[in-house]
Structure formats: structure tokens, C-alpha cells
């Protein structure tokens, strides 16, 4: 039986009263002991430096609005939590809501002025778009497609460390799709650039919204073809082949990187396959 959908994006009229509200600023959300959702009318009475408000959808049937706050805003009894931290703490539906909210808030904040003529942009009431009255430019929320791939050689997994990772953690390889490039070509290029090995044709596995700040991660599995590992300077500080019985610390369970690893291990051992959150 399919579980009910708790989060549903929608374009809501901010002029209407009621509902719940999220407070967002720079990939962070304000939270108290009850979580990240606040009574909207109560929240709007607080002395916070608001930038904008967006009606973003329904959570468990109730309307949800996003209040974008200036950096450094504070509210007694509340603290800012990063989106990555919330990903670890939240269920899949709640994180889908937070990811969507963060993407909308970031998009609107980054498009306050027209990139063509420099005039102020206005939000359209009937669609999720920013409009320039001076030159007619429309800007919709945009995604940056990226790929992530688990490369294997027999039983071994090719895992790497970026300087940006948490201490000791190794993960799969990833990168952004370039203009004019297919995702499959991107997989081959990124593997070649980051670790200097060649792969056989990559096989698509699954995708995951990755709102850091606005990516769509396309997950692949690929078999090693040839070459010796040479880490890309400045991007990869270490990369090596790992046997399933001797794996290093891995990415967080909610991430598609961890899903690709766990899926491969489950299929190899005959265990139940994991479920990708979101």
C-alpha cells in the first residue's frame, strides 16, 4: 500500500491568512523545540527582518509559507540549523519540503534584479516566476544537473575523498554537467578528470533532488575499464579501491551517494535493497 503524500508543492496566495511558516536564510532554517514549522500569523508578529514571503505548498493538508529573513536574524528560543544537518534529522517528506523551500528562497533572493537590464524583478502572482517589466525577461526556478557515479572493479569499490568532506569520509565521484554535454558523457569525463581511469558504459540507477543550492543529482553505476588511479590535484585528496569488508567511513544514509553504495552491496550479497529517501 502506498504511503500518503505528506508534502505537496503548490503556488499559494501570500495575501491569505493562516497556515504554517518556515524561516529561511542562506541554506539554513530557524527551529525551536517543536521543529521548523511555526504558526504563520504568530511568526509575522515577531520583530524579524523579513525580505520576502512565498506560498510554497501543503504539509499534511495545511498551507505552508516561506519567510525569507536577512542574515543574522534572531528569535528568542530558536536557533538556525543548516540544511545538511536537517537532512540527517528529518524524515524524507519533511526534507523534501525543506529542500523545495530552500530552492525557492535561494532562487528568489538571487534574482531580485534582472540579469539582462538590471531593473528590479517582480514575482508573478499566477506562476512561480520572476518578471522584469523593463525588458520582459522571465526567470523560472532552475536546476543544475549533476551526476554521481559508483565505479566498481569486480568486488571492489572506487571511493574518493574531497578536502570538503567530513574527516575520514570517502564517497563516490560526482560533478556538474557541462553545456552541450550528455549526462553519460559527463560521467566518463568526471571519472577521467578526478581519478584518471576509464569506465565502461555507465548505467543509470536513480536521481535525487540535491538543494545545495539547486542541483538534481543523477546517479549511475559503472564498471572499471582501464587505468591507474591518479587523484586530481585540488579536487581529490585521496582515492583508492576498497573491498566491501574493509570500507572506510561512508556518506550519510540519506544521500544518493550512500544509496548507490548500499544498493551495490545489497545486490552483491543478496540482501534486501535499500530505499532512496525522497
- pLDDT digit string (tens) for 114-139? 999 999 999 999 999 999 999 999 99
* Residues 20 and 98 placed together within one structural domain of the fold: yes
Predicted local distance difference test score (pLDDT) of residue 102? 97
Residue 278: band (very low, low, confident or very high) from pLDDT cuts 50, 70, 90: low
Sign of CA dihedral 172, 178, 183, 187: negative
* Residues 23 and 100 placed together within one structural domain of the fold: yes
Please compute the mean of the pLDDT values over residues 17-36 and round it to a whole number.
96
Domain that holds residue 164: 144-268
* Residues 198 and 135 placed together within one structural domain of the fold: no
Q: Rounded to whole angstroms, what are the CA distances from 79 to 23, 31, 189?
A: 11, 6, 42
Count of the separate structural domains present in the chain: 3
CA atoms of 71 and 79, how far apart (whole Å): 13
Residue 277 falls inside a structural domain = no
CATH of the domain at 51: 3.90.79.20
Predicted local distance difference test score (pLDDT) of residue 1? 45
Predicted local distance difference test score (pLDDT) of residue 5? 83
* Residues 153 and 245 placed together within one structural domain of the fold: yes
* Residues 19 and 119 placed together within one structural domain of the fold: no
Residue 2 falls inside a structural domain = no
C-alpha cell at 9: 508543492
* Residues 132 and 237 placed together within one structural domain of the fold: no
Is the model's pLDDT at 111 over the cut of 60?
yes
Q: What percentage of the chain reaches a pLDDT higher than 70? A: 98
Please compute the mean of the pLDDT values over residues 239-266 and round it to a whole number.
96
CATH of the domain at 235: 3.90.79.10
* Residues 188 and 247 placed together within one structural domain of the fold: yes
Contacts of 226 (CB under 8 A, 6+ apart): 197, 198
Residue 273 falls inside a structural domain = no
Whether the full predicted model's pTM is greater than 0.95, yes or no, is no
Residue 78: band (very low, low, confident or very high) from pLDDT cuts 50, 70, 90: very high
Q: Rounded to whole angstroms, what are the CA distances from 20 to 28, 140, 263?
A: 17, 25, 37
* Residues 21 and 90 placed together within one structural domain of the fold: yes
Amino acid at each position: 500500500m502506498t504511503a500518503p503524500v505528506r508534502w505537496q508543492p503548490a503556488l499559494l496566495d501570500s495575501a491569505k491568512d493562516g497556515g504554517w511558516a518556515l524561516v529561511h536564510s542562506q541554506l539554513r532554517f530557524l527551529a525551536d523545540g517543536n521543529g521548523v514549522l511555526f504558526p504563520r500569523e504568530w511568526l509575522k508578529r515577531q520583530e524579524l527582518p523579513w525580505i520576502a514571503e512565498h506560498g510554497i505548498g501543503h504539509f499534511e493538508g495545511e498551507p505552508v509559507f516561506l519567510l525569507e529573513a536577512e542574515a543574522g536574524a534572531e528569535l528568542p528560543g530558536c536557533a538556525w540549523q543548516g540544511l545538511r544537518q536537517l537532512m540527517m534529522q528529518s524524515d524524507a517528506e519533511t526534507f523534501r519540503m525543506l529542500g523545495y523551500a530552500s530552492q525557492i528562497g535561494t532562487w528568489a533572493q538571487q534574482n531580485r534584479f534582472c540579469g539582462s537590464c538590471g531593473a528590479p524583478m517582480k514575482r508573478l502572482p499566477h506562476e512561480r516566476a520572476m518578471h522584469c517589466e523593463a525588458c520582459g525577461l522571465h526567470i523560472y526556478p532552475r536546476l543544475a544537473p549533476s551526476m554521481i557515479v559508483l565505479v566498481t572493479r569486480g568486488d571492489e569499490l572506487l571511493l574518493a575523498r574531497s578536502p570538503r568532506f567530513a574527516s575520514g569520509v570517502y564517497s563516490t565521484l560526482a560533478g556538474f554537467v557541462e553545456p552541450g554535454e550528455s549526462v553519460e558523457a559527463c560521467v566518463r569525463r568526471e571519472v577521467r578528470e578526478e581519478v584518471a581511469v576509464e569506465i565502461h558504459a555507465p548505467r543509470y540507477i536513480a536521481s535525487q533532488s540535491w538543494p545545495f543550492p539547486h542541483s538534481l543529482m543523477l546517479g549511475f553505476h559503472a564498471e572499471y575499464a582501464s587505468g591507474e588511479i591518479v587523484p586530481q590535484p585540488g579536487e581529490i585528496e585521496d582515492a583508492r579501491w576498497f573491498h566491501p569488508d574493509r570500507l572506510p567511513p561512508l556518506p550519510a544514509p540519506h544521500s544518493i551517494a550512500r544509496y548507490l553504495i548500499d544498493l551495490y552491496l545489497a545486490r552483491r550479497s543478496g540482501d534486501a535493497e535499500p530505499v532512496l529517501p525522497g
